[in-house]
Chain A
């Protein structure tokens, strides 16, 4: 008889096992390798022997045994003194405290500000997400060697700078350490939504992984922006089934079949956002989630609460000005005050660094021209936007808009 071992169980346990070992022995690289070996053993043994009563303890014990065997082999070689000095305590016991979940300090370490963003992303997926290097490579559409190199370089870098396993104590420290974590998680989420660019069957679901990791973080940290990010991801992901048509082409928000939106994810995201708004000072991610929630509530573009969305964009720009938020605000403004005043606003925005010459300026201008009844001008602008877009699905979408008007 064989037991079915849920892949999610192992993935949930991975960061905790790595974290427990790192806390005890230091040295992320070796600990991580040891846990990978223990996972391989678990995948072989558990389906046959059944899942142990304390799977996390089992993994930690096996991994620490592997780790020590490895160090013994190493110390038999030349690095003996160095290793022994660095790791005086080689006793093969690690205290397993079920209450203490170390995956949070591990996540903070993987998103250490000293690491470059691509390194943070790969290391987080590997050490916290428990994905294999091959899976990460497929997810990011990169060669495995490139990802492997990023991970090992990142681990070496952490070792060099003596990154410690710690949780911030003051709220200022929390804010500084959380901000790269949130960016990394958001980046992983967005990488996931590029799935249509690759082979969907073999490509791991990075959006789902980002949601899982963010939910885990949300369970450990009571922070408004963590909740905001989780809500934003859930609300955005809820629209995924409607975002592409049967041919795999992009469908813009206004044309999406809203019956395909996943109501469970919308309810979940809205609930998390409400709870956060009631208790925390509002931040940019919560505002973006609030905008997403308003779209989710509406049965159509016409039924959308645009004045409220416009107000939220005003608030967002006051807190965290960004080129894309400025553009989105112009789109909302057209719905509230009409295309003419939005066009005037767009002219002001078009000079902002980061938007000068950007194809989305043309795309938005095309949209506004169409609203104003200037079909031919809109068509030309859609074509020009398509020419300058770097995304093939988006390019095809813009070309279809132009064709529709031609």
Chain B
């Protein structure tokens, strides 16, 4: 079963990160490295990426007359933005939650586990 672990960032979590000492930041980054390595060696990792700062993001709109409009950045009113993700394939939802709990942001309740859609045994 595939799951997407979405890691969010908000103002508070960014502040905490900004105020961290270099040493603490390194420990934080190592936690991701360890988790990624653990998932890879367990054969559970499909992909993991950190996303660049939201201000570098672009919104794309296709208008009725097929024009492509590009606007800057995220929606201003959004308080929490995706800052990274893990795409995993593991045996149970319980395991996915266990993995999510190892993401440092879980301490702030900023990790979301979303099952990936799949065709399970259809009643035919």
Contact = CB atoms under 8 A, between A and B. Distances in A.
A391 B122 contact: yes
A145 B87 CA distance: 14
Main secondary structure of the interface of A (DSSP, over half): helix
B77 interface: no
B91 A391 contact: no
A167 interface: no
Given A117-B91, A146-B89, A190 B43 contact: no
Nearest to B87: A143
The prevalent SS among residues of B at the interface is loop
B115 A328 contact: no
Contacts of A146: 43-46, 89
B43 A390 contact: no
B101 interface: no
B121 A147 contact: no
A117 B42 CA distance: 12
Interface string B94-124: 0000000000000000000001011111111
B91 A394 contact: no
Contacts of A117: 91
A393 interface: yes
Interface string A98-120: 00000000000000000011110
B118 A391 contact: yes
A253 interface: yes
Contacts of A150: 43
A253 B43 contact: no
Interface stretch (A176-184, A193-201, A214-222, A372-380): A193-201
A149 B122 contact: no
B31 interface: no
Contacts of A122: 43
A250 B41 contact: no
B29 interface: no
A239 interface: yes
B41 A153 contact: yes
Contacts of A243: 122, 124
B121 to A, nearest CB: 5
B14 to A, nearest CB: 31
A394 B46 contact: no
A260 interface: no
Interface of B: 40-47, 89-91, 115, 117-124
Interface of A: 116-119, 122, 142-143, 145-147, 149-151, 153, 190, 193-194, 196-197, 239, 243, 250-253, 256, 324, 328, 331, 360, 390-395, 397
19 contacts: A116-B91, A119-B43, A145-B40, A146-B46, A146-B89, A151-B43, A153-B41, A190-B121, A193-B121, A193-B122, A194-B118, A194-B119, A196-B119, A250-B124, A252-B124, A390-B115, A391-B117, A391-B120, A394-B122
Given A118-B89, A149-B40, 14 more contacts: A117-B91, A118-B90, A122-B43, A146-B89, A149-B41, A153-B41, A190-B121, A193-B119, A193-B122, A194-B119, A197-B118, A253-B123, A324-B121, A328-B123
